[in-house]
Amino acid sequence: MVDHLANTEINSQRIAAVESCFGASGQPLALPGRVLLGEGILTKECRKKPKPRIFFLFNDILVYGSIIINKRKYNSQHIIPLEDVTLETLPDTLQMKNRWMIKTSKKSFVVSAASLTERKEWISHLEECIKHLLTKTGRQPCREHAAPWIPDKATDICMRCTHTKFSTLTRRHHCRKCGFVVCADCSRQRFLMPRLSPKPLRVCNLCHRQLLAEEKKEAEADRRQAEPIRSAVGYEPSSGDDSDRSDDEKAEQWPADTEFYTSAVSWSSFHS
């Protein structure tokens, strides 16, 4: 059906309408072979509070944005390649029902639908598109995913030191590696994670130590791999300390059994 609709006039018109709603702030969406399959409003669990977002499902990408005027104007456009997406169904909470997580290598977040049926339809359409796309490209499903950010209201204290209480003057921060809500003292470090950003990102002290350890381990593996080549040409590298990190700093893990992510307009299909 997708192949049949790819170059039809009605598909081109619908994609053009979506581009028009995003205006100059959005990127062009029309590409050869791209088909708009449907749209709907989902509730996205954001850092401050859950907010409605408009979602458009294409056969190769998922697009979402903020709603200014429904069916007429959207902004803050985000484009997610479907071949980078993994889905995880989540249990209901007191505040949100019909939830699931959209996980990608750069960003992971939780959304909820207005009904259980709507959630099933979204997940079914998404999984079908992802499966078809991976089969077509020959790629393997993504194995590494960015950690979802724990909402600010999930905790009143730092999730690492567990004693700093947040207030108007004591700001909340998020570790880009684990997604925990942490205080400034527990997240003074920055670390370069090219998969997420070209710039060093804020990480908590525990994740910083783990990342440094991983980096050191990788560097040691590279050194051992290169050693036979150096020996063959008679080159002996100088020795030096790899790091002068302190072992005095301690960070307490948030209880492992705490469940943060244990796991409107309804879906509208254009092509039945």
DSSP secondary structure string, 33-68?
T--EEEEEEEEEE-SSSEEEEEEEEESSEEEEEEEE
pLDDT of residue 268: 55
Question: 137-194, pLDDT tens digit by residue?
Answer: 888 887 888 999 998 988 999 999 999 999 989 999 999 999 999 999 999 999 999 8
DSSP characters for 72-127? Answer: TEEEEEEEEEGGG-EEEE----SS--SEEEEE-SS-EEEEE-SSHHHHHHHHHHHH
pLDDT at 247: 44
Say how many C-beta atoms besides its own lie within 10 A of residue 121's C-beta: 18
pTM, whole model, 2 decimals? Answer: 0.75
Residues with Cβ within 8 Å of residue 55, at least 6 apart in sequence: 39, 40, 41, 42, 62, 63, 64, 111
CA distance readout (Å), 145 to 41, 76, 197, 217, 229? 24, 22, 14, 21, 35
Q: Would you state the pLDDT for residue 261?
A: 58
Rounded CA separation 227/218 (Å): 14
- The pLDDT score that the predictor gives to residue 266 is 55
Give the integer Cα–Cα distance in Å for 63 and 55: 6
| The CATH number fitting domain 149-222, selected from 3.30.40.10, 3.30.70.100, 3.20.20.190, 3.40.50.720 | 3.30.40.10
| Interval 103-137: pLDDT, tens | 999 899 999 999 999 999 999 999 999 999 999 88
Mean pLDDT throughout 242-255? 46
| Confidence at residue 242, expressed as pLDDT on a 0 to 100 scale | 42
CA distance 69 to 178: 35
Q: CA 192 to CA 90: how far, in whole Å?
A: 30
69 three-state secondary structure: strand
Where does the pLDDT of residue 93 fall: very low under 50, low under 70, confident under 90, or very high at 90 and above? confident
Domain range 1-137, CATH class = mainly beta
Can you give the residue ranges of every domain in the chain?
1-137, 149-222
**CB-based contacts of 112, cutoff 8 Å, min separation 6:** 42, 43, 45, 50, 96, 97, 98, 99, 100, 119
Confidence (pLDDT) at 272: 42
Q: Which residues pair with 52 in a beta bridge?
A: 43
Residue 251 has pLDDT above 80, yes or no: no
DSSP 159-211: TTTS-PBP-SSS--EE-TTT--EE-STT--EEE--TTT-SS-EEE-HHHHHHH
User: pLDDT for 66-77, tens place per residue?
Assistant: 999 998 999 999
Residue 239: per-residue pLDDT: 40
pLDDT digits (tens, 9 = 90+) for 10-66: 999 999 999 999 999 899 999 998 999 999 999 999 988 899 999 999 999 999 999
Query: 253 or 40: whose pLDDT is higher?
Result: 40
pLDDT tens, position by position, 193-241: 988 888 999 999 999 999 999 999 988 888 888 777 655 555 444 444 4
What pLDDT is recorded for position 137?
Answer: 85
Confidence at residue 229, expressed as pLDDT on a 0 to 100 scale: 61
Q: List Cβ neighbours of 220 (8 Å cut-off, separation of 6 or more).
A: none
